[in-house]
């Protein structure tokens, strides 16, 4: 895992955008795994600006989102499809038919999850998977105690995640209790993984992910085993890392070709 510590959230987003730019320049038909929530908003603004400036091209890319709330239609303002339209898809040149999210209204959830996995396999797998990390160490909606080999499936949200997401819905009572999410095993099959974290509230989870034991109580910790995982964080999110100075030294002295 490469740990990249930046001064602030803006610098985190700019560095992440450069990694997307390199990925698409090297492989224009990349399959991208995308995330929602507050963490990637700065990145998505950067990608939109780069698209408008002609610095990045999504026209041959495909995307699969990590998750969707069960019971919300794609047109619901709090659905992740609506989120992606508002914050990314309408601002870049990716063909709408090349974007895919789980269906929150799927009548047969188990079958839909299997079909989602098959759709990812059918296009050759995900080349670059974007992730945030929850305050409890979850990735996607793989809550603590999730199987580290899990596949796309239905998950019940924990009270902590419901509370964290209540700001988007106005109250905890309005947050759906179930989601469809890519599994930890699905995420681990991506060829490369990019994790972003900003703010002091993420510092404990970041430290557990990077320097703690690999365990289901911190699903993000399995990324220690991923062959190509880059973690880009700001100084606040790096606040509980024991080896922060070492990570800064390593990043500053790597040859350019070896960096994420």
Question: Of 68, 103, 112, 138, which one is the catalytic site residue?
Answer: 138
* 75 part of the active site: no
Question: Of 15, 46, 67, 68, which one is the catalytic site residue?
Answer: 67
* 76 part of the active site: no
Q: What is the CA radius of gyration of the chain?
A: 17
* 136 part of the active site: yes
Question: Of 136, 164, 226, 234, which one is the catalytic site residue?
Answer: 136
DSSP string, the chain: -EEEEESSHHHHHHHHHHHHHHHHHH-TT-EEEE--SSTTHHHHHHHHHHHHTTS---TT-EEEESEEETT--TTSTTSHHHHHHHHTGGGS---GGGEE---TT-SSHHHHHHHHHHHHHHTT--SEEEE---TTS-BTTB-TT--TT--SEEEEPPHHHHHHHHHHHSSGGGS-SEEEE--HHHHHTSSEEEEEE-SGGGHHHHHHHHHS--BTTBGGGGGGG-SSEEEEEETTTTTT-TTHHHHHHHHHHS-GGG--
Question: Of 143, 164, 226, 234, which one is the catalytic site residue?
Answer: 143
* 67 part of the active site: yes
Which positions are annotated as active-site residues? 67, 136, 138, 143
């Amino acid at each position: 895992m490469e740990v990249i510590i930046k001064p602030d959230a803006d610098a985190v987003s700019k560095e992440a955008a450069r990694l997307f730019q390199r990925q698409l320049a090297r492989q224009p038909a990349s399959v991208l795994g995308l995330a929602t929530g507050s963490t990637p908003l700065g990145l998505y603004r950067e990608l939109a600006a780069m698209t408008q400036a002609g610095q990045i091209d999504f026209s041959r890319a495909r995307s699969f989102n990590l998750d969707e709330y069960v019971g919300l239609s794609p047109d619901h303002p709090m659905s992740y499809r609506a989120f992606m339209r508002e914050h990314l898809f309408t601002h870049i040149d990716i063909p709408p038919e090349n974007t895919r999210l789980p269906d929150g209204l799927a009548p047969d959830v188990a079958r839909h999850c299997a079909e989602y996995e098959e759709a990812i396999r059918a296009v050759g797998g995900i080349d670059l998977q974007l992730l945030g990390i929850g305050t409890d160490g979850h990735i996607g909606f793989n809550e603590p105690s999730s199987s580290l080999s899990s596949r796309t499936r239905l998950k019940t949200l924990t009270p902590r995640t419901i509370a964290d997401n209540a700001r988007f819905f106005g109250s905890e009572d309005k947050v759906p209790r179930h989601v469809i999410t890519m599994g930890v095993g699905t995420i681990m099959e991506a060829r490369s993984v990019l994790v972003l974290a900003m703010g002091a509230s993420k510092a404990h989870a970041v430290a557990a992910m990077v320097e703690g034991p690999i365990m289901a109580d911190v699903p993000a910790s399995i990324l220690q085993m991923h062959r190509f995982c880059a973690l880009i964080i700001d100084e606040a999110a790096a606040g509980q890392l024991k080896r922060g100075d070492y990570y800064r030294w390593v990043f500053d002295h790597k040859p350019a070709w070896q960096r994420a």
